[in-house]
């Protein structure tokens, strides 16, 4: 069956673990977006984001501004540690449905405790989690269930997109490919400010 949806997927790269707190060194990593129709890659965009910063939202918006997609799937609500995405803003400014995907059911109480412990602006970050709305579970074929929140679209639409993107495993193909690329180029994006790049097809 031919694919129905053109979908953008986003995932972050890796970074060195470190102690959070005052005086910590600033770290960066990559954020990769892929645009796919089924298993066919139509474009790749790369940006640099700050570990534990709050710039992932702007990076997404700057990248998505040149793309058209039926949906955006995020590989979680946060990238680069606790760089929490303002998903409502992304949906509002791009007019694109957003699906926040997770392979495991997130422990939101543990997340809130971590934010309280490490961030003075934890309320702002936590408010972005609260804006995600209800968490849903979805079982695709014989795989263990996945979990998602849908912003700007119905559950039915979100589950159709997630089902179509479960090509090689239960992880959406656009997110899986973005993850491979982001982690592959992470080292490049850890460098000084201004070190970033992009390509599209």
Range 12-33 average pLDDT: 79
Range 58-83 average pLDDT: 94
Range 157-177 average pLDDT: 96
Mean pLDDT, the chain, as a whole number? 90
| Tens-digit pLDDT profile for residues 52-69 | 999 999 999 998 987 899
State both tokens at 43.
């474009």
pLDDT of res. 16 = 79
| Pick among 3.30.2170.10, 3.30.70.260, 3.90.1150.10, 3.30.300.130: CATH of 6-191 | 3.30.2170.10
Quick one: which of 131, 170, 169, 163 has its CA closest to 149?
Answer: 131
21 pLDDT higher than 60: no
| CB 125, CB 111: distance < 8 Å | no
More confidently predicted of 195 and 123: 123
- The band of 198, judged by pLDDT with boundaries at 50, 70 and 90, is very low
| Tens-digit pLDDT profile for residues 120-165 | 999 999 999 999 999 999 999 888 999 999 999 999 999 999 999 9
Quick one: which of 172, 185, 196 has its CA closest to 73?
Answer: 172
More confidently predicted of 65 and 167: 167
Range 102-117 average pLDDT: 94
State both tokens at 122.
């934890």
Where in the chain are the domains? Answer: 6-191
């Amino acid at each position: 069956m031919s694919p129905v949806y053109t979908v953008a997927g986003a995932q972050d790269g890796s970074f060195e673990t470190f102690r959070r707190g005052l005086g910590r060194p600033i770290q960066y990593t990559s954020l990769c977006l892929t645009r796919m129709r089924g298993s066919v890659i139509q474009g790749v965009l790369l940006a640099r984001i700050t570990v534990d910063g709050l710039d992932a939202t702007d990076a997404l918006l700057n990248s998505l501004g040149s793309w058209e997609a039926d949906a955006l799937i995020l590989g979680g609500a946060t990238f680069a540690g606790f760089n929490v995405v303002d998903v409502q803003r992304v949906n509002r400014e791009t007019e694109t449905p957003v699906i926040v995907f997770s392979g495991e059911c997130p422990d939101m109480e543990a997340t809130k405790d971590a934010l309280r412990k490490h961030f003075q602006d934890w309320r702002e970050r936590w408010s972005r989690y609260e804006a995600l709305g209800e968490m849903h579970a979805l079982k695709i074929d014989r795989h263990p269930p996945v979990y998602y929140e849908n912003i700007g679209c119905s559950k039915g639409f979100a589950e159709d997109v997630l089902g179509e993107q479960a090509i090689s495993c239960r992880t959406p193909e656009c997110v899986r490919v973005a993850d491979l690329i982001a982690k592959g180029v992470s080292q490049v994006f850890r460098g000084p400010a201004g070190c970033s790049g992009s390509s599209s097809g």
